Amino acid sequence: MTSPKLWLIVPAAGIGQRMQAECPKQYLRINNRFILDITLSRLLDSRLFAGCMVPLNLADHWWPESDASNDDRIQTCSGGAERANSVLSALHALEEQVAADDWVLVHDAARPCLHPADLANLVSTLMDHPVGGLLAAPVADTLKKAESSRLPEVIGTLDRSQLWRALTPQMFRYSMLVSALETALNEKQPVTDESSAMEFYGNMPVLVEGRSDNIKITVPTDLDLAGFILSRF
């Protein structure tokens, strides 16, 4: 009986509106490299993956300028309007290559600071698990609940003892993830990550503690922070 393979999906069809940049955030540069190139190389250099699928926006004209476009380990497909649609598109594009029990790891294109030790720990922890799970970090800050208004006012303080920040990669069995995403989208459920689709499908993903510096680049100030983190690895 063969061991399940690992496959990588890095959705890169977003436009990154909060960055207020002239290009999607995955094509902004850190040390003269596209963020997307940094992210993909950090994952693929692990040599864990049988293959990689990158869903792209139909209007994307930056991809041919990337280093990744010349990497024969990487395939591309058309992305969707939302992250979940892009991931599902990638899963369907991999259908002829992947076994039902193979693992799929989905990682944010704008998370270039994944530490190799976290990736290795995620895979080794979940390899024999029936469902899968995700990297996550315990919430360290005090969390306030507020009313929606121009000047939000605090209406309570939340207990953070059971709260975690969801990170990526998120790692699930191929067939289960396809079914979970299709079901959630058909039922018009909010799918903010793969774990939320699996939860709606009736599963309980495992949280594997990861480093808090596995940041997602969202606003302009994150670029300098990511550059600093990468310089420390």
Q: How many Cβ atoms sit within 10 Å of the Cβ of residue 91?
A: 23
**What pLDDT score was predicted for residue 194?**
98
Q: What is the tens place of the pLDDT at every residue in 205-233?
A: 999 999 999 999 998 899 999 999 999 88
Is 209 within the bounds of a domain? Answer: yes
Determine the Cα–Cα distance for residues 20 and 28; give it in Å rounded to an integer: 11
Residue range of the domain that includes 110: 6-137+165-232
Phi, psi (rounded to 5 degrees) for 173: -65, 140
Is 154 within the bounds of a domain? Answer: no
Is 158 within the bounds of a domain? Answer: no
Determine the Cα–Cα distance for residues 66 and 76; give it in Å rounded to an integer: 13
**What pLDDT score was predicted for residue 22?**
78
Q: Read off the pTM.
A: 0.94
Is 42 within the bounds of a domain? Answer: yes
Determine the Cα–Cα distance for residues 167 and 54; give it in Å rounded to an integer: 19
- Overall domain count for the chain: 1
Is 155 within the bounds of a domain? Answer: no
Which residues of the chain carry a pLDDT beneath 70?
A: 1, 16-21
Is 156 within the bounds of a domain? Answer: no
CATH of the domain at 46: 3.90.550.10
Give kind and range of the element (H or E) at residue 9. Answer: strand 6-9
Is 147 within the bounds of a domain? Answer: no
Q: How deeply is 209 buried, as exposed, middle or buried, from its count of CB atoms within 10 A (0-12, 13-18, 19+)?
A: middle
* Vertex 208 angle, CA 207 and 210, to 5°: 125
Is 87 within the bounds of a domain? Answer: yes
**What pLDDT score was predicted for residue 19?**
61
